[in-house]
Each structure stands twice: as structure tokens, then as C-alpha cells.
A = this chain, B = another copy of it.
Amino acid sequence: MRLFKGAKKAGLPPGTLVHVGDKRTEEVRITLLDYDEDRVEEKTDVTLSACLPFKALPTVTWVNLTGIHDVDIIKEFGEAFHIHPLILEDIVHTGQRPKLEDLGDYLYIVVKMLVKGSLEHDFDAEQVSIILGSNFVLSFQEREGDVFDSIRDRIKKGKGRIRKAGSDYLAYRLIDAIVDNYFVILEAVGERIEGIQEDVLAQPDPSTLKQIQDTKREMILLRKSIWPLREAISGMERGESPLIREGVRPYLRDVYDHTIQVIDTVETFRDTISGTLDIYLSSLSNRMNEVMKVLTIIATIFIPLTFIAGIYGMNFKHMPELEWEWGYLTVWIVVIVLGCLMLWGFKRKKWL
């Protein structure tokens, strides 16, 4: 994982559309869903020009674009929907923090969507831009995902409140789907942390330390995605914009509560991971203690005994013990008694 990327744009004037980020999909796909309480119309893989007629209708129009690397299409969108160049720049520059910008005619909301990641890390963060107008919602994704599928389904089947509500409710549902998905990711992370904790107690090694640090970094990344999102949703809920109708506010408060739950969980995970690091470090010390004890026990027992053997290996002419008949046996007895005494001493010190 590269620590930081995003300098591609330096030196260019503001409003220049340069895609910053990994190109996560080849093709650019535009999907349109136009509905009101009575009818629904879906068009997949359409061009922008096919979408424009719907803009004039009073029905809710949801245009979803997957693949933001094609800046020309984004530019056309900008012209068709009168979007400020700086907003367009933010859409294609994937290094944005989650935020809410109120531009009068429309709200611009940036959210970070978490997607189950590859082997090494638990998730990738992907930028989703939502533009909420009075009767349309534009959403821009980096790559094809399935988080919005259930919403699409419910719209088409006409189930629930969604077909009766306006574009603000649709925008809320998109954000809610993304935040709900955080819980799925958190569950995976939680399981990973528990795995690490077991590893640390069983067999700590540098690779565990690496995992601890990686997870710590992921928590930081998560927090960076959630904290500003909380503020953005709170900004929507406080409702200074007429685009957000009164009836949608309780729902926004609900998703706001969810972001706080996510933050709480992330903080708990961070504390747990820090605790795991403490356990790791102290279990290193424990192992060192264990190694040192083995060395000390062996050395403490045999070094004095070797000294005794050395004494009777001396070649002095006059060493009366050497002549004794039971001298050799006595040495063995002394050696064994001494050894046993020391073992008993270690036992008493609880080293064994």
C-alpha cells in the first residue's frame, strides 16, 4: 500500500480535471433510473445525452456513473447539469475527505465507500460522489459495486417508502447503504484483530507485529473516512438547505447515529490493537526471561561441577584424595547431591 499519492495535480490551475487515483475499471458505465410513485424507468449503459430529457421531468432521476477516469464524460456531465468546475475536479480527484458542499441549486456530498479488500488488507476505500438536485441524484463511483443493488431493486419493485419520497430520500438511502456496509467491514476487521490476539499469545513473531501495525493503519484510515462523514451528515440533518425536506431529517439523524457507532467501534478497535502491541512486547520479554532461565540453570549447575572435576584432574604429586579407594565414588556423590540441591533451589525460586 502506497502511503500517499496525490501530487499529480500540483502546478495545474484550479478546475483542471485530472483523474488522481488507481484506475479501477476499464469501461465507463452510465445507468439511469427515473421514477415517481406510479412509474419507473430504467436504462443501463446509456450515454449522457439519453439522460438529459429526464432532467426536465418532475420525477426523481438517478444517474449512476461507474468509472471516473474518463474526464471528458465528467466534463460533459458538468455542463449538462451546471456543476461548478471545482466540484468536477473533486469528483475525479479521489483524494477528497468526505464532505458536504452546499452550492445552492444542488448539494455535493463525498463519501468513502469501503470495499472488501485483497489478501493483505481488509478493505479498500473508494470515493463516491453524490450530487443531489431538487429532482435528480447523480452518483459517481470508481468501480462497479453491489452496495446500491438493493436500493435499485426496491425502486424497481416499488417496495417501501422510496418510490413515494423525493430525491433527498434517495440520496439518504445511498449514504445509508454505504454506512451500513461499514459494519460489514468492521466485522471482518474485528475477526482479524481477534486472530492477531490469539497469535500474539500463542507464538509472537515479527510478522505479527507487522499485522498489528497494518491494522493500526487501517483503523487510522477508517477514522479519517468516518469523522468528516459524521460532520457532513450532521450538516445535511441540520437542514440549512431547502433540498433536504423535513421528513428526511429523522432518517439522516439515524444514519448519523450509525456513523457515531462506527467511530466508537473504530476507537475500541484502536485501543484493543494498542493493548495487543503491549502484550506482544511483554511476551518478547517473557520469552527472553525463559531463555535466560534455561541458560542460567544449566550453567549454574554444571560450571561448579566442572570445577570439581577440574580439581581432581590436576597433576599434583601429593593429592591424598586421589589415592583413596572411595575417592571417585565420593566425587560422584558430591556432584549428584550438589546438582540436586541447586535444582531444589531453582524450584523454590519458581524458575522450574
Contact A86 to B250, CB < 8 A, known contacts A257-B96, A322-B316: yes
Contact B312 A4 (CB under 8 A): no
Interface size class of A (residues with CB under 8 A): 35 or more
Q: Which B residues lie within 8 Å of A302 (CB)?
A: 303-304, 306-307
* A25 sits at the interface (CB 8 A): no
Q: Which B residues lie within 8 Å of A181 (CB)?
A: 10-11
The CA-CA distance from A15 to B162 in the complex, in Å, is: 12
Q: Which of A220-245 contact B (CB under 8 A)?
A: 220-221, 224
Contact B284 A289 (CB under 8 A): yes
The CA-CA distance from A255 to B326 in the complex, in Å, is: 86
The CA-CA distance from A257 to B97 in the complex, in Å, is: 8
State the A residues within 8 Å of B (CB). Answer: 2-7, 9-15, 84, 86, 89-90, 95-97, 99, 101, 103, 150, 154, 159-162, 173, 176-177, 180-181, 183-184, 186-187, 189-191, 193-194, 201, 203, 206, 209-210, 213, 216-217, 220-221, 224, 250-251, 253-255, 257, 260-261, 264-265, 267-269, 271-272, 275, 277-289, 291-296, 298-300, 302-307, 309-319, 321-328, 331, 335, 350-351
Between-chain CB contacts (< 8 Å), 26 pairs: A3-B191, A4-B187, A4-B269, A10-B183, A10-B184, A12-B180, A14-B176, A84-B250, A86-B251, A90-B257, A96-B261, A201-B206, A201-B210, A206-B282, A206-B283, A220-B267, A278-B281, A284-B285, A288-B289, A294-B296, A295-B295, A299-B299, A306-B306, A306-B310, A307-B309, A318-B325
